[in-house]
Amino acid sequence: MTEYGVPGAAVGVWIPGKGTWTTVSGTADVEKDVAVDPAMQWPLRSITKSYTVTLVLQLVDQGVISLDDTIDQYVEGVTDGDRITLRDLAGMTSGNADYTNDDFVEAFSENPERIFTLEDLNGFMLGKPAQFAPGAGKVYTNANTNLLGAVVEQATGQPFDAVLEDFILEPLGQADTEYIVDVATWATAHPVGYAPDDDGPDPQGTNMSVFGPAGSMVSTLDDGRVWAETLATGALLEESTQKQRLVGAPLDAGPPYGLYALGIGETGGWWGHNGEGFGFTAALFHQPDTGASVVAFMNLSNETSGAHPADQLFRRLAAVIESGAEP
């Protein structure tokens, strides 16, 4: 926290046979001088992608869809949509344009409080030139996952948040995890997000609707532990589907994973996901060999050196765990 100027953090480490360590530190709201509380919810940002892809894989297991389906079967107007598969979208190999283009920036600038629907977000990338041919590269974008969010809705005939609740949150008992697009409905206590500024931490925007199924979820340390283990072990999926999920390669552009597979990343034998944006970073990983899990939340993003503070904390905690050092 000192190294990166992070106002507040919550972190947990769970090691079977060794014990549990959770702590909170620092400030949740600098202006009001509110300390971080263990019961607070934190934005997951791109960890949301791991939930969205899991929903897709659950629908695959049910025989409702196939990873070899092309996106044009569900969303019209995607460039190369007749060649981009759901597997390409989940693994970030689609080559499609992201939605964070000039059209989106103009719409957001006109009304930063606008609640963007999933259809709105996907609409900004429809018909835009591809970055590369499907399968020819591996570039991480929010648009890949938001298109999969639309697949979930089209395949089930239900809103994304309802499917998320029925397929994952309720079965896992994740009562403190939510999909929130309108921050006005976020009733549970939560920190303010910040970015570095010469005058101190600068509060960031709160419009979570700009992320959609790629980043609009919030959660807690305890729910994060459950999801870290569920995600890495494939507890909600058929064994064969989880094996497919873990097939990946390094990203050409994107977060600092050793490799990225289908809505899940790997770093040094730890599987999970991280997230960043609008004042928050988060990291959530599980090591299948030892059963250890690490969850880290911090209310600082856009660190000036380009570092991801929560991911850096995860890596340093992982090194301590792997060293076998006694507390």
Task: Go through the domains of the chain in sequence order and give each one's CATH number.
Answer: 8-323 (3.40.710.10)
Please say whether the dihedral angle defined by the alpha carbons of residues 8, 14, 19 and 20, taken in this order, is positive or negative.
positive
Token code pair at residue 97 = 């344009």
- C-alpha distances in angstroms, 107 versus 111, 121, 207, 250, 276? 7, 11, 13, 33, 22
19 by DSSP, 3-state: which? strand
Write phi, then psi, for 317 (nearest 5 degrees): -65, -40
| Average pLDDT per consecutive 10 residues, the chain (327 residues; last block may be shorter) | 97 96 98 97 98 98 98 98 98 97 96 97 97 98 98 98 98 98 97 95 96 98 98 98 98 96 97 98 96 98 95 96 73
Token code pair at residue 33 = 């001088």
Helices (H), the chain: 47-61, 86-90, 102-110, 118-123, 142-156, 160-164, 170-172, 221-233, 239-245, 309-323
Cβ atoms < 10 Å from Cβ of 14 = 20
pLDDT tens-digit readout, 261-272 = 999 999 999 999
Q: Return d(Cα 229, Cα 232) in angstroms, integer.
A: 5
Question: What pLDDT score does 325 carry?
Answer: 59
Question: What pLDDT score does 316 carry?
Answer: 96
- Name the residue among 260, 294, 264, 298 with its Cα closest to residue 279: 298
Q: Return d(Cα 239, Cα 244) in angstroms, integer.
A: 9
Between helices 221-233 and 47-61, what is the axis angle to 10°? 40
What residues contact residue 218 under an 8 Å CB cut-off, 6+ apart? 41, 42, 43, 44, 177, 178, 180, 186, 188, 190
Residue environment code for 130-154, b if the CB has 16+ CB neighbours within 10 A, otherwise e = bbeebeeebbbbbbbbbbbbbbbbe
Question: What pLDDT score does 324 carry?
Answer: 79
Residue environment code for 21-51, b if the CB has 16+ CB neighbours within 10 A, otherwise e = eeebebbbbbeeeeebeeebbbbbbbbbbbb
Token code pair at residue 32 = 């009001």
Report the half-sphere exposure of 291 (CA within 13 A, side-chain side).
6
- Name the residue among 35, 74, 41, 26 with its Cα closest to residue 219: 41
pLDDT tens-digit readout, 43-100 = 999 999 999 999 999 999 999 999 999 999 999 999 999 999 999 999 999 999 999 9
- C-alpha distances in angstroms, 16 versus 42, 172, 197, 224? 25, 19, 41, 16
DSSP letter, residue 63? T
